[in-house]
Amino acid sequence: MSNASAAASDHRPDYTRQPNNSKLKHIPGKNGWPIIGVLPELRNDVFKLAETRWKEFGPISRVHFGPQPGVLALGPDMAQTLLLDGDRNFSTRMGYDYALRPFYGDNLLCLDFDEHKFQRRIMQTSFKTPSMRSYVEIMNPILERGMDVWVFDDSFRFYESVKNLLLRMTCKVFYGVEEHDEGSDELAQAFVDILDAQEGIIRLDLPGLKYHTGKNGQRFLRDYITKLIPIRRAGDGQDMLSHMCKETKPDGSYFSDEEIVDHASFLLFAAHDTTTSTLNHLMYYLAKHQDWQQRLRDEGAAQHKDYLDYEDLGNVVELDAAFNEAQRLNPSVTVLVRRSIRECELAGHRIPANTMIFQLPMFTNRMSDYWTNPHSFDPERFFPERAEQKGHPFCFMPFGGGAHKCIGMHFAAMQSKLFMHQFLRKYEFRLPDDYKVAFTYIPMPKIKDGLPLVVEKRRA
Ligand code: HEM
């Protein structure tokens, strides 16, 4: 194809072809270190980074995230403006394009506005009540078998154990792939390789580089899902891929294989590490706060069931509050990114077109204007009589908001509750003596040493 005809057939909006803006000297702030910008602070103490900025510069400040210049937008008012975006000033696609498109193509976070709205319908059946109910039935026995083979010796690390368990379960619920199916081990490995590659700095598809291993993983994953599409479309499976294969467009046609593969592979990414991270933080807080661990165990015992059913999920209100509280203190997505499409104004500052804008949900989730003793673990703040999350529509934002609000937030809560219910019934757990926790926040928030726990089986 000639250059001219290639350009004519390129229907991308003009703003997606523009480079990022770096002319930000007129905005007060600090870039951070040469090349790495504020990455060290982001990795080790997100809240302190944000709080220092907030006190010195207010809601908007100039910053470098790695080599990338942009602005930091802090607090719930900025979140409301950026995420609701009534004037269509901010592109989600251009916020995530560099990080996500090479691995997940036209996924939901790499689409804007009408195109995004249209594509999001591919997931509508996957998250309706009948589907959610069927996932509960699939997940409960897998969770039980998974935790029953864990060995709780000195080398036990909750993070690795739960990550592997959730990955196997996710392959089944998302794609209908069983552990003994051909290629299932390679599928799990492919996904791990893609995640590793996303962290790599050198992006060259050359043998020996992490990026190459990740791209091989991506090729395997895409090929695997593509081959499953006709099988899932012809079958009566209740997994998410089966639902997506049967979803139709307004003209009655199916979504293309390419579209399905982009969305299905992205789902694994969006769901897996985030829920792993949440469960780690929740387990840490419950190991530390034994009173809450017992409260949740008592609440679960009152259900008189080994497994929670879908209908029971609304009864475990204390577990729900603890899940939210762990999310509030340590949200699983550290940075939300947008890029301005045209010149606009934020908190009185002129933001040029094509400027990267970074938000840190953890700061908003812990602002003392909305939360009492904001750094303490206190799930009762979510009880109806206190309802601190209602202080501002965007003061609690672990799942984002607006058009791109997490489509899997109820799934994540459900999966976490099913896991916690079973684990609390079987085991008691605490932190090792003299344990000192160290958190890290990028690329994914987690506890640095993988969370060693002392776990004992409960007497029947
Ligand atoms: C605790 C776990 C989770 C957290 C904290 C979380 C957080 C988020 C956040 C903050 C966003 C919005 C990003 C933005 O606007 O920039 C998002 C989007 C998304 N999440 Fe989640 N997520 C979680 C679990 C899940 C799960 C389990 C699934 C699927 C089953 C999922 C699927 C998605 C998808 C598809 C999007 C893109 C939505 C769109 O662009 O329309 N997430 N998530």
Tell me the pLDDT tens digit for each residue of 367-410: 999 999 999 999 999 999 999 999 999 999 999 999 999 999 99
For residue 25, which of 62, 64, 72, 73 has the smallest C-alpha distance? 62
Residue pLDDT, tens place only, 12-70:
899 999 999 999 999 999 999 999 999 999 999 999 999 999 999 999 999 999 999 99
Measured CA to CA, the distance from residue 167 to residue 305 in angstroms comes to 25
DSSP symbols for 125-143: GGGSHHHHHHHHHHHHHHH
Ligand 1 contact, 362 CB (< 6 A): no
Asked whether residue 458 carries a pLDDT value surpassing 80, the answer given is: yes
Measured CA to CA, the distance from residue 373 to residue 337 in angstroms comes to 28
Ligand 1 contact, 271 CB (< 6 A): yes
Asked whether residue 5 carries a pLDDT value surpassing 60, the answer given is: no
Residue to mutate (ligand 1; options 406, 407, 420; most atoms within 8 A of CB): 406
pLDDT band at 7 (very low <50, low <70, confident <90, very high): very low
pLDDT band at 9 (very low <50, low <70, confident <90, very high): low
Which sequence spans correspond to the domains of the chain? Answer: 18-457
Helices within 289-374 (DSSP H only) = 290-301, 317-329, 361-365
Residues 6+ apart with CB under 8 A from 288: 377, 431
Res 32: pLDDT:
96
Beta partners for residue 33, in sequence order:
37
Residue pLDDT, tens place only, 237-260:
999 999 999 999 999 999 999 999
Res 3: pLDDT:
46
Measured CA to CA, the distance from residue 401 to residue 333 in angstroms comes to 13
Ligand 1 contact, 408 CB (< 6 A): yes
Q: Tell me the CA distances in angstroms from 26 to 61, 62, 110, 158, one per residue in order.
A: 10, 9, 29, 47
Asked whether residue 2 carries a pLDDT value surpassing 80, the answer given is: no
Relative to the CA of 331, which ligand 1 atom is closest? 5
Residue 333 Cα, ligand 1 centroid: separation in angstroms? 9
Residue pLDDT, tens place only, 290-326:
999 999 999 999 999 999 999 999 999 999 999 999 9
Res 6: pLDDT:
47
Structure token digits, residue 435? 């344990």
Measured CA to CA, the distance from residue 361 to residue 425 in angstroms comes to 32
Residue pLDDT, tens place only, 190-241:
988 998 888 777 889 999 999 999 999 999 999 999 999 999 999 999 999 9
Class in CATH terms, 18-457: mainly alpha
For residue 339, which of 81, 75, 16, 94 has the smallest C-alpha distance? 94
Beta partners for residue 157, in sequence order:
452
